[in-house]
Amino acid sequence: MSASETTSMPVRRIRKAYEQVADQLRELIVTGEILPAQRLPNEATLAREFGVSRATVREALRVLSTQNLLRTTKGTGGGSYITLPTVDRISDYLSANISLLSATENVSLDEFLELREMLEVPAARLAARRRDPTHVHDLRAAIPESPLRMATEDQFVLNRGFHSALVLATGNALIAIAAQPIFSVLQTNLQRSTLGNKFHKRINEDHLALADAVDAGDEDAAGGLMLDHLAFLRPMYEKAWRQARRPAR
């Protein structure tokens, strides 16, 4: 190599100041050094403690707010308060973003249905394996005695409630976090479609059979029933998906 040639130098990107502040605050929250519901010092105090500008602190707080680690209130007693992630809060955040992906058609219906099958069939098996009387009660409470006498909106609420109860019955919060946004997007699309009594009757029968399998602790039956149930729903989703994306006249 000649003296005039240069060699590539390994360059390490330095994180921006607001990212470093956000990282340090996040660590304090996660480790419990800053407790839930505790109010952070004001921007001026934080800027002085971190040795940065108030604008840098403000941007760091914005980052933590988007991650649902802070809530900001105004007025007397206002400020930035610590919050901790919950299953529902994380699911809501994911639902909003996944809904945007589906609206822009960056995610296909097949991808949603494939992921749902990957989540719910094992979830049904796991719920049966870990059979818990409280969870079984929640499953049965989400099954109406007379579904055909109910308003369609009420039927959809209970149907989603059943599937939510089933993933919660796994005892695995991460499965619930992953599944809830999928339920939300798919059901929103399905509600736009016209579905008759035959559909709602079948849904109710499937849910009853699934609840019985979980109650009996029968993993194979629960998994098989869920697979059949999702196969029944697929053409309904396909029809609703097409209708939702049909250009308005």
- Contact residues for 106 (Cβ-Cβ < 8 A; gap 6+): none
Q: How would residue 181 be classed by pLDDT, with cut points 50, 70 and 90?
A: confident
Break the chain down into helix, strand, coil percent, rounded to 5: 65, 5, 30
181-205: average pLDDT: 82
129-150: average pLDDT: 91
- CA nearest to 225, candidates 214, 212, 209: 209
Tokens of 231: 């196969």
3-21: average pLDDT: 68
Tokens of 84: 């901790």
Alpha-carbon distance 155 to 144, whole Å?
A: 8
- CA nearest to 68, candidates 26, 35, 129, 32: 26
**pLDDT at 226 > cutoff 90:** yes
Least confident of 31-35, 59-63, 186-190: 186-190
Alpha-carbon distance 103 to 106, whole Å?
A: 8
Least confident of 16-20, 66-70, 96-100: 96-100
